[in-house]
Amino acid sequence: MSKTVGFYTLGCKMNYAETETLSRKMQAAGYQQVKFTDVADYYVVNSCSVTESANKKSRQAVRSAHRRNPNAKIVVVGCYAQLKPEEVGTVDGVALVLGVDEKFNIVERLAEIESCDCASLHVSSIDSVENFSCAYSCSERTRAFLKVQDGCNYRCSYCTIPLARGKSRNIEISSLVKQAEEIASRGVKEIVLSGINIGDFGQTTEEKFIDLLRALDNVQGIERYRISSIEPNLLTSEIIDFVAQSRAFMPHFHIPLQCGCDEVLRLMRRRYNTDFFRKKIAEIHAKIPDAFIGMDVMVGFMGETDEYFQKSYDFIQSLGISFVHVFTYSERENTDALKITPHIQESVRTARSVELHKLSEKMHQDFYKKFDGQIRPVLFETRNKSGYQVGFTDNYIKVEVSDPSARDNELVRVRLGQFNEEGTALVGEII
């Protein structure tokens, strides 16, 4: 009887792509995948460490697996494993901790620890990590996440990602095209390009991100691409122009702002100011008027006074964007942000987060309202509990239709209507 394994993933979409790749690797070696909530022989926790809460959730996942089967061998990979391997190794049930350059050697490492009762740690210094591990996920069938870049050479004062993922690196465009073709052969119609600092693509191959986009645009079978989060200083006019006329790259951008106040941006060591950011948003609006523009904003960063927060709020409100992903600053060890004052109380961080979430919701709804009555292409993904078929337009508007003929992974023209009762999607009619 084959050994069973359950997977649990925290954090970014790249982690999910890597988990699915690990799953395929283990299944090819004879392991049978089961749900993480099932009793299994092995459990793999792909951890995140972007906040202390993420560390805590990783430990909780390990403990829950250990309670289900005290005899199971538990493997921890991901950022938390790289940053704090000894801490991870002391959690009850952990048998194996694999760092960045070891996670895809999981089958070989598991074979080595079969008779070992203590945690085995395989974590190298992040400065020595050179390899790029290919990964993609396509369990949703409709949408896949393709890892095209890893690591980051930036040194933002709040961030531990360079310590957890290493320097920026990638593989050749030709290899990524082959992976996209493999995804297409599985019937997937949409690919989201994922990375840690995706616009920095080419550091190890001396290629350019725009050249990757051009090559992928020609892959037959893929109807849609979306670019995951890209730094504003790396979102060039050339890229925007390309998306504006591309066959398959959707009018959809996600750009991390982090703060709409120049004083705080300098404390964060970001590589742009608000004037640059505003001009970049204006350029997108001018060239692609219907584009969905989302962005990340951090609240409660060290030194963010009431005055600075208000400046940030007003700046965000003035941009006319589509959505704000709000997250609260979390102190991380070995970051320069810890030296900055004043420290912002948790209650203040929470209150600011609430304010920005309300603003984001209004922006999101205002964006949706602009398209009432328009006809746009929708790629259906799933049927919800109410029986409606749900999908997204090219510019990332969530749509639901009652038409029983609509099917998953179908690309159709839909006339957009008004909001559903929950205010979470537009009700559409297939044309």
Mean pLDDT on 284-305? 98
pLDDT at 45: 98
The pLDDT > 70 percentage for the chain reads: 99
Q: How far apart are CA 323 and CA 367, in angstroms?
A: 8
Fold entry, domain 375-430: OB fold (Dihydrolipoamide Acetyltransferase, E2P) (2.40.50)
Residue type, 209: F
Q: Is the per-residue pLDDT at 182 higher than 70?
A: yes
pLDDT at 214: 98
Structural class in CATH, domain 130-250:
alpha beta
Q: Is the per-residue pLDDT at 126 higher than 90?
A: yes
Binned at pLDDT 50, 70 and 90, residue 372 comes out as: very high
Mean pLDDT on 93-118? 89
Binned at pLDDT 50, 70 and 90, residue 140 comes out as: low
pLDDT at 139: 74
The pLDDT > 90 percentage for the chain reads: 92
Q: Which two tokens stand for residue 54?
A: 């993420």
Sheet holding 190-194, edge to edge: 136-137, 143-147, 190-194, 224-227
Q: How far apart are CA 3 and CA 148, in angstroms?
A: 32
User: Which of 75-79, 119-123, 311-315, 425-429 is predicted least confidently?
Assistant: 119-123
CB 296 within 8 A of CB 184: no
Of 51, 43, 55, 49, which Cα lies nearest the Cα of 19?
A: 43
Sheet holding 292-299, edge to edge: 252-254, 292-299, 323-328
Q: Is the per-residue pLDDT at 406 higher than 90?
A: no
Mean pLDDT on 367-390? 95
Binned at pLDDT 50, 70 and 90, residue 386 comes out as: confident
pLDDT at 385: 87
CB 83 within 8 A of CB 74: no
Q: pTM for the whole thing? A: 0.93
User: Which of 112-116, 244-248, 251-255 is predicted least confidently?
Assistant: 112-116
CB 327 within 8 A of CB 355: no
pLDDT at 1: 66
User: Which of 212-226, 286-300, 396-410 is predicted least confidently?
Assistant: 396-410
pLDDT at 114: 76
Fold entry, domain 4-124: Rossmann fold (3.40.50)
pLDDT tens digits, one per residue of 205-235:
999 999 999 999 999 999 999 999 999 999 9
pLDDT at 119: 86
pLDDT at 277: 98
Q: Which two tokens stand for residue 100?
A: 């960045």
Q: How far apart are CA 352 and CA 311, in angstroms?
A: 12
pLDDT tens digits, one per residue of 8-21:
999 999 999 999 99
pLDDT at 178: 98
Binned at pLDDT 50, 70 and 90, residue 352 comes out as: very high
pLDDT tens digits, one per residue of 34-75:
999 999 999 999 999 988 899 999 999 999 999 999 999 999
What are the residue boundaries of the structural domains of the chain, listed by start?
4-124, 130-250, 263-370, 375-430
pLDDT at 177: 98
Q: How far apart are CA 328 and CA 341, in angstroms?
A: 17
Fold entry, domain 263-370: Transcription Regulator spoIIAA (3.30.750)
Q: What is the 3-state secondary structure (H, E, C) of the chain?
A: CCCEEEEEECCCHHHHHHHHHHHHHHHHCCCEEECCCCCCCEEEEEECCCCHHHHHHHHHHHHHHHHHCCCCEEEEEEHHHHHCHHHHHCCCCEEEEECCCCHHHHHHHHHHCCCCCCCEEECCCHHHCCCCCCCEECCCCCEEEEECCECCCCCCCCCCHHHHHCCCECCCHHHHHHHHHHHHHCCCCEEEEECCCHHHCCCCCCCCHHHHHHHHCCCCCCCEEEECCCCHHHCCHHHHHHHHHCCCECCEEECCCECCCHHHHHHHCCCCCHHHHHHHHHHHHHHCCCCEEEEEEEECCCCCCHHHHHHHHHHHHHCCCCEEEEEECCCCCCCHHHHCCCCCCHHHHHHHHHHHHHHHHHHHHHHHHCCCCCEEEEEEEEECCCCCEEEEECCCCEEEECCCCCCCCCEEEEEEEEECCCCCCEEEEEC
Q: How far apart are CA 254 and CA 232, in angstroms?
A: 9
Q: Is the per-residue pLDDT at 312 higher than 70?
A: yes
pLDDT at 246: 98
Mean pLDDT on 377-391? 93
Q: Do domains 130-250 and 263-370 have the same CATH topology?
A: yes
Q: Average per-residue pLDDT in the chain?
A: 95
Of 249, 273, 247, which Cα lies nearest the Cα of 260?
A: 273
Mean pLDDT on 392-416? 95
Q: Is the per-residue pLDDT at 115 higher than 80?
A: no
